[in-house]
Amino acid sequence: MLKEAIYHQSDSTYSYPLDEKTLCIKLRTKKDDLKRVILCYGDRYEPVPRVTMFEKEMNKVFTDDLFDYYEIQISPSFNRICYYFKLEDEKETIYYAQQRFYKEPPEDRNRYFIFAYICRGDLYKAHSWWRDSIFYQIFVDRFNKEELDEAWFDEPTNKRMFGGNLRGIIDRLDYIEELGVNAIYLTPIFESPSCHKYDTIDYYDIDKSFGNKNIFKELVEKCHKRGIRVILDAVFNHTSSEFFAFKDAMKKGKKSKYFDWYFINEDGTYEMFGQSKNMPKLNTTNDEVKKYLLNIAKYWIEEFDIDGWRLDVANEIDHKFWREFREAVKSVKEDAIIIGEVWDGAESYLRGDQYDSSMNYPFMHAALEVFARGNMKLKELDAYMQNLYARYRRDIRYNLLNLIDSHDTARFLYECKNDKEKLKLAAFYMFTTIGIPMIFYGDEAGLSGANDPHCRITMDFQNIDKELFSFYKNLTRVRKEVKALKVGEYRKCYVDEDVYAFSRFVDDEEVLCIFSLSNKEKSFEIGLKGEYMDILNNKTVKVEGKLDIEPYGKMVLKIR
């Protein structure tokens, strides 16, 4: 038994409440090292010399290339819990408590792991519409406008506006609804001198090139009537250098009441976003800055009924601010979703006290390596994704916002060298794995382009790739129909060089998701017998232990 691989931490993502009665506990061990893991738990304040311990075997829920992850939920009648782990391999049984190993469990309950109390104020509440959502990201300037001209189809550039606006989105709501998405995430719409609008001048007004508040209100209302949620992009890390507070601070120096709103040095230089002098960084520890930004967060919900915020450069802002931000947002709309832009692991933000979700760029990186570039094997993908899932709380990992591209990356189709089959395989996996799928506008239409600004190409609604659109539309249908794809657990069933099969399951439903990277028909052992409905392709599939899958095939078999 490799003790160095065994890990648990109480009151962390390895031990947390799901509700006032239920505790979720996780343990990490070396891969394929243990025969059984048993959680032993009891009432920490039981008035006896030695606590009565209950035993429950834990389930192996994830396995990566190095570790196994065991998990269990308990709902004891008591709320002050002490616990340890009973670990068994082929040779011995040992006990693990408070980072120490024992041949027999300690008698002193204070040497056990402790979950002191399930506090109501620490409980995290997810809302069903989040997991039911299929997001559609719209770069507003490039999506649509009422009257197109030849200039609309010019090569993308960040030097000028192309004219896309809010009215253009309203005019294409039939298209958006037909695609099957039910949540729109708009890149910033507030007053700004740029086409991307990530350098805000006025957080309380909509950029005139996009329209006005009345048009935005109309957009939100019409979306809501169609069952489509609307999420706005908030840039609270920095402002435009034309923002009133920054202009005043630069003009008056330390005499300005806004001087401490930023990080301004003695020589007049200042902290900024990256190397962009036109985007000075805000000091979110300043009470007036916090008050200003938190009021904005509430204003657009109270006045326009938006359904949440996507937070730009979210991991360059302090955790304390995001905790206060969460309190402000949830005070006016409890089910509003908060999504952080974090390019690497977002564990420290996804503990239930800050964001509800993060943009899952680690997923995108894996998808690129497997489907577009062919640099990652399917077995590596399986290990990578299971490690990713294991890092997050059970009640939050369903909320991860999966993406394969965005306004900040090259189009996935471009990365595939315009091979649509590779794009479809990546999209299929995004729609069937754990997390919320997000489509970058135009991926479903066949748009392609390199990094910014070329990924921000204008839509051509007269030349939609109908076959690709139909494929995406089918994915949204299946995602909506199958509960297990939204909130089901994940289990690898088969993997080789070309074929990957995994199960998504809840108590009353299970589907087997399968795809093939091969350009030839493949046959593989799956351990099923009988007739199953392939709900992706609407056909019955006969299985006799072996399953055949066509070139670049994709299947979702209904098992129960």
In angstroms, the CA 299 to CA 532 distance is 51
Take residue 437 and report the two structure tokens written for it: 């799928």
Q: Which residues contact 64 (CB under 8 A, 6 or more apart)?
A: 31, 383, 384, 386, 387, 390
**Residue carrying the six token digits 């990201």:** 137
> What are the angstrom distances between the C-alpha of 220 and each of 173, 177, 212, 216, 232?
11, 14, 13, 6, 11
Burial class (CB in 10 A: 0-12, 13-18, 19+), 549: buried
Residue type, 491: R
In angstroms, the CA 247 to CA 254 distance is 13
Residue type, 128: S
In angstroms, the CA 219 to CA 460 distance is 21
In angstroms, the CA 438 to CA 11 distance is 32
> What are the angstrom distances between the C-alpha of 4 and each of 67, 233, 381, 388?
11, 43, 25, 21
Q: What is the DSSP letter of 444?
A: G
In angstroms, the CA 514 to CA 495 distance is 10
**Residue carrying the six token digits 């729109």:** 184
Take residue 384 and report the two structure tokens written for it: 């990578």
Take residue 383 and report the two structure tokens written for it: 């290990």
In angstroms, the CA 18 to CA 552 distance is 39
> Does the active-site annotation cover 312?
yes
- Choose, from 233, 341, 405, 415, the residue flagged as catalytic: 341
Kindly provide the residue ranges of all beta strands, DSSP E only, lying in 286-388, ordered along the sequence: 308-311, 337-340, 357-360
- Choose, from 68, 71, 191, 312, the residue flagged as catalytic: 312
Please state the φ and ψ torsions of residue 279, each to the nearest 5 degrees.
-130, 75
For residue 475, give the nearest of 404, 396, 400 by alpha carbon. 404
In angstroms, the CA 179 to CA 426 distance is 18
Kindly provide the residue ranges of all beta strands, DSSP E only, lying in 31-179, ordered along the sequence: 36-43, 54-57, 59-63, 67-74, 81-88, 93-97, 100-102, 113-115, 135-138
Residue 254, helix vs strand vs coil: helix
Q: How many contiguous H segments (helices) and E segments (strands) does the chain have?
A: 15, 28
From the CA atom positions of the chain, what is the Rg in Å?
26
Per-residue three-class SS string for 360-426: EHHHHHHHHHHHHCCCCCHHHHHHHHHHHHHCCCHHHHCCCEECCCCCCCCCHHHHCCCCHHHHHHH
Q: Centre a 10 Å sphere on the Cβ of residue 51 and count the other Cβ atoms it contains.
A: 20
Sign of CA dihedral 196, 201, 203, 209: negative
> Does the active-site annotation cover 369?
no
- Which residues are known catalytic residues? 312, 341
